[in-house]
Structures are given as structure tokens and as C-alpha cells.
Chain A
Amino acid sequence: MNEIDIKFLEDSFKKYYFNHFDLISTPQRTSEREFGYQKFNSGMFRHISLKDDKELHLLFMQNIPSDVYCSNAYYSFPNSPMNEKDWQEADLIFDIDAKDLNLSCRKNHTISICNECDKVSKDVNQCVKCNSTKLEKKSLPCKNCIDASKIEVNKLSNVLINDLGIDKENIYVYFSGNEGFHVYVFNSQFQKIGSKERSELVDYIMFRGAIPETFGMKKFKPNRSLFPDFNQKGWNGRFSKQVFGSKSKRSKIISELLDNGYPSFQKILDDVSENIGVKIDPNVTMDIHRIFRLPGSINSKSGLTKILCTNLTKFDPYTDACFLNDDSVEVLANCPIEFKLKNKKFGPYINEKISLPTYVAVYLICKKLATIA
């Protein structure tokens, strides 16, 4: 990214931070957390500890970071090197990202930028200008992407509350600032469990590793009375809804399952996992030393804010997470698809000089689809 663009982004971010400290506060037990930040065109600064909001705001004003992070873990010595931090516990965190959902809309709003000649085009596998296959993909997620992610968030909450006994009040859903949601769980029985245990939780939530016996199918002398039913709690009930469809079909389908036998039942389990399993990023939940984008901070991949969703159904990131101002700036834009911000349509722009509101200019520059003219 060039100096002028960086200067523009930094100025815009700084204004936002200065005016929105109300949105940025340190998480509970601040002094036990590790903080980190990045500046434009530079590496990561980690292992920082902060006392309170004041120190955090100072960090923003002094460094004008492109991204700010905070650990979900609590440490005795958060500013020591990793192996000396003395890990105590960590909030449970889940990452749901539209790009992991195999959505058919993706190809419509994915843009390829050629690494060799900078040619920008709609999603391709090979540069249309120089035939290079070294392409950087940028996505401008659509409403469908967000809606599909919300469905996964709701599936996740359902498992967390009903199966894992987590209080609704302890679940916080944040828009990640780009293509999905981060779900935080505070004060649960899982605070102190390690990475391996978290990985088991992940498999449970994603419906991975199920064996036929768990759902009533025995290897030898299978018996129809063991199959699950609709009113059962947990995965048995969800499995029934998915596989039997309706109460009237249950008996017939069980007969089919019995006829088809054990190996085919295993196959069905693997298939339904795609539908009923919650699509979270397993690595994020398993990692107990990670730092996560700080709520209230801007995501430099989009210029949108990572923000708490108090009403997920109504939440629209392109208005509710878009906080930058409307001052117009002149940019050279090259964005072959249309998108919406603050309820207004923009684009497509084919290599054109145009005057745009700051929040749009930032969005495009962050996606590498425009530069300051």
C-alpha cells in the first residue's frame, strides 16, 4: 500500500477512534490479558499488557494502529514471552466466517487481483491480462453471506445453551468487521480447559466423529427400538429432524436404514454433519494463546468496526458497523462489482476517478480496489 493511502487510512481511523472511545473498552480483567497491534505495512507488536481503558486509548492515539487485538486468555504475566506468561484460563471463542460456508453467491462477489500486473477482474483462476495464476482474492460479502453466517451463529447458540449448559447472558456475538461473527462465551465451566479438550468440544459442535451406535445403529443385530426420536435433546433430536424429516416418515426411514446396513449409516452421519454441524473454524477455538480483534476497533481488511450485535436478526453490518464519516475524497477506483454501504449502492467502477464518501473510499482502499487520486 502506498504512503498516501496509508496516510489517508490512518487519518480516517484516528478520527473514528477519537470520536468513538465509547465503543472501545477493555475486556473484564484487563491486566491479565495480552494485547497486540499492527500498523499499516508493518509487523505485529505482541505481548503488551494494559491496566485500564486509559492506557488502551493512549495506545490507539500514539500508534494509530491498523488493527488491535486482545487475548481471550488470562495470564499471570501477559507481557512476558509466551512460554513464561503462565496461562490461567481462557474464554471460549468461536469464529464463523462466510468464506467457510461454501456459499454459491461467493463467486458473484469475489474479485481477483493479479499479483504480477495488478489487473483487477471478477473471480477468475488466471489473470485475463497476463495469464498469471498468482492472484489475490478479495470478497465483498453480500447479504446472503451475512444471513448464512447468522444461521450458523444461531445453531451454535442452540448447542451452547441446550447441550453445553451455557447461560444465554454469557454469550456475546460480535460482527468480526469483515465476513462473519465472533462468538464469545464468558464465565463457563470451560474456562480452564486446554487445547485438546477444546478440540473435542469443537468436534461435538461441528458434529464430527459420530459413530452409528450413538444414533441407534448397532453393528450386530441392529434393533429399531434404539433409533432416536424427535423429542430427544441434543444431537439425537437434531439428527431425527434432519434424517427422518417428519414423524410420519420415521418408521419407513428406519426400515431403510436397517436394510442398508452399518457402513451406509456411517456414510449418512458424515453427510448430515455437513448440514446439522455448526460451521465454526476449529483452529480458532482450539488455540488458547491467540489474540483476537478487539471489539470496537476497526478491521483494516474492510474499514468496518468489530461490534457487538445486540439484535442479531436485525443486524446489518453495512450500516451498523460502518462508522466513518461522509467527507468526500477523490479516488481512483477499480471495482468490477456493485456493493452497498449505509444503505446506498456503489459501483461498479472501472478504473475511474471519482469522488466518494470517506467510508466508501476506506472500504475500497482496504480491499485494494482503490487508491487516493
Chain B
Amino acid sequence: MLILGQDEKAKYPFLADAGEYLKDKGFSLVQFGSDPVLKLSVEKALHRIKVAAAGEVYKSDLIDGQASKDYVLEREVFSFLLAIVLIKLTGMSTLIKRFALAEARRAENYLEKDLGNASNKSKIDLATRIIYDLFNIEIIKENDFFVIPVSDYLKHSVTFHEREWKLINRHVENGKVFLTPDKTVRLIRKELGNYISSKIINAPKPSMIPGLESIVNELILISKKLTPTYTITTGEYPPCIKHAIDVLEKGENLPHSGRFMLATFLLSRGQTVQQIAPLFKNAPDYNPRVTFYQLNHLAGISGSATKYACPSCEKLKTQDLCFITKECDNIINPLQFGKKRKL
């Protein structure tokens, strides 16, 4: 187990043992519902969730990973732990996903800074330890680079579809890949998100803390508004499309071919670019400008002005995107799903 210093706990609060931390500080959860000073932490927790729900990364009160005052540090950790409690109380899985994603991004920033901190060996050591303990990837510092075995690199990078991540575009030597701190951290982004969300999912659901009811209700409302509109459009989706939406909702990476399938499918079903774009918001490499550009292109609105068709089932099978079930009923294109006349 990692031994963490105070400011490390603030940077990587998901590594701290929640129960122990509170006990250490001499608090119980119930106090957060009533104590006016502790309520500040509750407000911070609420803010933290709201920011995450909006798809942004919470900016903490730490300056360069350091807290000016001890209580600032404490509040950082409290607010994270409380945020989990609040999310568990709402029972909304959308919030878990968003929160885990945002917190992963936040931790990423710190990991990157710690790895890149050439003057402070202990910071580098800690960051590499975290990566090893959590994701079982051994990273060794060599001059300005971090080197990892090619096989480990491949396991993580194959889900990325940018050409830059292809092995051929990396410095490879003697069975190792050389990475800069930011690429190193980017490589484990998905795992970091999964780690945090599994921590939340596995945390026990607390009973309602008196005094926090209204906050929990507010969060439920926020979450309901978030539940995207695409799930309530008419008509069942075929398994391949459902799967693609699922992947995106989890904030995981969908290969380019999958995005193409999803976008062309929904466009053909009459959805607009504006309706579809938010789907891609959780993607690890989301960039609104690029997404809109690409969707417009597919819809034939910009550029080539050809409208792209949804690929055939056969094509999708070769791309590992088909998740055929009985309901597919021998159709040859996902667009026919549920429309085939029964004889």
C-alpha cells in the first residue's frame, strides 16, 4: 500500500481510505449534515459534482499541488469523499460516470506535473508507484523520458485511433517505448477513470445524512437533466448501435469506424448534428470543434457534400462492431433493424 503525505492525499484523494481518513481527523459523516464549518466542505463537494456534471474539470484550491493552509488541504479531501457519499445517495449512475471522468482528468494533471518534475525525485517516484500499483505498468525514468515495455504500451494504445499513437510514431528501442510525461499519463487515462468509478461503485451506500436531503435532491434533478435525449427517441436500436452508445457513455474510446457507424446511423434516422454531437462528449479525446466538423462532413453539410451511408452488417462484422442477436433477424444493414416485415 502507498503511504501518502497530506498534499498527495489532496491531489489523489481516490487513493485515501475514506473511513480511516475521517476517523483520523476525528469526524463522523453525520456531522457534515449539521456542523456549519464542515458545511463548507459539503458545498465544495456539491460544486465539485456540478462541475463534473457539466463536463469540466474541477479546479482545486491547491497551488502547484501545495496547499497554503492545512485546512485547505483537509477540505480538498473531505469534499472528494463527501462528493462520493452524495453521489451514492442520489443513486444516479450518470453522475458516477461524469464524476469519475472529471476526477480522472484532474488527477491526470497532477500525475503529469509530478512525472515532469525533474528536480523532485520523490514526486516522480510517487507518480510511477501509483501507476504501478493501480495499473500494473512499470515505468522507468530514463533521462527526460519514461520508458515502458512495448507490450504494455500496445495494450493501452490500441484503443486510441489517432495516428500519433501508432507504435511506428513512437521512439522505440530495445523493447521499450519512450514517452514524455503527458503521453505517459494519457496512456492510462481510461484505466484511471475506471479505477475511480469502480471505487465509487464499490463504496457502500450510506444512509441519508440529516441536513443533506435538499442537496441530494438538487443533484438528482441535475442528473435527470443530463440523461441525454438520444435514449428517448422512438424505435429500438440494434445491438451494434446500443453497444457504441454504451462505450461512449462510459467515457471509453470508440474506434473511428464505430463513430462513423453511429453517426451515419443516427443521421439516417433523421437526427441532427446538434442532437448527435453531445454523444461524443465523454470520449477521451473529445474536441467539440472537430466533432462538429466531422459530423457535418458525414451529413454532407460541409466539404464533399456527399452524404455517407451507414455501413452494412457485413462490413461491421469485419470491424468487430457487430453484436448480433436474434432480433437482428438476417438484416443486411443496421438501418433495417426492427423494420423487416415478418412473413
Q: Which residues of A contact B (CB under 8 A)?
A: 162-166, 189-190, 192-193, 196-197, 200-201, 203-204, 207-211, 213-214, 233-236
Residue pairs across A and B with Cβ atoms less than 8 A apart, 22 shown, are: A162-B174, A163-B174, A164-B150, A165-B176, A189-B149, A189-B151, A190-B151, A197-B154, A197-B158, A200-B167, A203-B166, A203-B167, A204-B168, A204-B172, A211-B169, A213-B164, A213-B169, A214-B168, A214-B169, A234-B171, A234-B173, A235-B168
CA–CA, A213 and B167, complex, Å: 13
Give every chain A residue within 8 A of B169 (Cβ-Cβ). 209-211, 213-214
Is B235 in contact with chain A by the CB < 8 A criterion? no
CA–CA, A163 and B174, complex, Å: 5
Tell me whether B168 and A207 are in contact (CB under 8 A).
yes
Give every chain B residue within 8 A of A234 (Cβ-Cβ). 171-173
Give every chain B residue within 8 A of A196 (Cβ-Cβ). 158
Residue among A189, A193, A207, A213 making CB contact with B175, cutoff 8 Å: A189
Tell me whether A201 and B171 are in contact (CB under 8 A).
no
Tell me whether A189 and B150 are in contact (CB under 8 A).
yes
For residue B171, which residue of chain A has the nearest CB? A234
Shortest Cβ distance from B258 into chain A, in angstroms? 13
CA–CA, A328 and B50, complex, Å: 88
Number of A-B contacts (CB under 8 A): 69
Contacting residues of chain B (154-189) with chain A, CB-CB under 8 angstroms: 154-155, 157-158, 163-164, 166-176
Instruction: Report, nearest first, the 8 A-B pairs whose CB atoms are least far apart.
Output: A165-B175, A197-B154, A204-B167, A214-B169, A189-B151, A165-B174, A196-B158, A209-B166
Tell me whether A163 and B168 are in contact (CB under 8 A).
no
With A208-B168, A214-B169, A235-B168: A201-B154 Cβ-Cβ less than 8 Å: yes
Tell me whether A209 and B158 are in contact (CB under 8 A).
no
Shortest Cβ distance from A168 into chain B, in angstroms? 13
Give every chain A residue within 8 A of B174 (Cβ-Cβ). 162-163, 165
Give every chain A residue within 8 A of B167 (Cβ-Cβ). 200-201, 203-204
For residue B151, which residue of chain A has the nearest CB? A189
Tell me whether A197 and B155 are in contact (CB under 8 A).
yes
Give every chain B residue within 8 A of A197 (Cβ-Cβ). 151, 154-155, 158
Give every chain B residue within 8 A of A210 (Cβ-Cβ). 166, 168-169
CA–CA, A214 and B169, complex, Å: 5
Tell me whether B151 and A163 are in contact (CB under 8 A).
no
